[in-house]
Structures are given as C-alpha cells and as structure tokens.
Amino acid sequence: MKSIITKMIAGGCLLGLAGCMMVPADFIWGDNASQWANDGDCDDPRFTGPMAHTLLLPEDALHDANDCRALFLDGKVQMRSNYQQGVTYENPGYVGPN
C-alpha cells in the first residue's frame, strides 16, 4: 500500500482531506511576496473556490503559496481551469472573513 501512495504522490497527486487532487507535475506554487500572503485566504488568481478571495489580482499570481497550498490540500480552493495571465478575477462565492 505504501508503494502505491508513493507512486501517486510522485505522479503529481496530493492527498488531502478532500481526497486525491491532481496537480500538474511542473506546477509551481510560488512564494509569499504578496502583501496578502499568510492571511488564511488564497489570493492567487490561478485558484478559485470558497476560500479564494473576492478580488484576485494578476500581481498576486505565484505570490501567496502558503495559503493557497494549505487551502488546496484542505479542498477549500481548486485550480482555475480557465486561468489567463494578467486577468483580474472576481469570486462571488468567497466565504472567508476578509
């Protein structure tokens, strides 16, 4: 069983509370240079979901790694399938405190 899990993780599958979520093998989480980093919300416009902030600015792409990774693993954000670089996204489904 351990070898199966190891192979799944090596293949780009992260095991979180919400089950197995696929991340592209070359996915880069980025850094925490955003002024909104480490506030408990995902501010990276590459993500969507209830804990992706209301307004997601292009300059925050790749700059809120800790929050987005933790929320992704908890199943509270997902990768945006239609992400386009340089676009500002609105998220009316945001449920966080900010």
**Per-residue pLDDT tens digits for 87-97:** 999 999 999 87
User: Residue 71 is part of which domain span?
Assistant: 27-90
pLDDT for the residue numbered 21: 64
Q: What is the pLDDT of residues 30-45, one digit of tens each?
A: 999 999 999 999 999 9
Question: Does 47 map to a domain?
Answer: yes
**Residue 21 forms part of a structural domain:** no
In this structure, is residue 19 part of a structural domain?
A: no
Contact by Cβ (8 Å): 28, 79? no
Report the distance separating Cα 55 and Cα 93, nearest Å.
Answer: 11
Is residue 13 situated within a structural domain? Answer: no
Does a structural domain hold residue 58? Answer: yes
Q: Which residue has the tokens 């996915």?
A: 27
Number of domains in the chain: 1
Q: Residue 37 and residue 43: Cα distance in Å, rounded?
A: 8
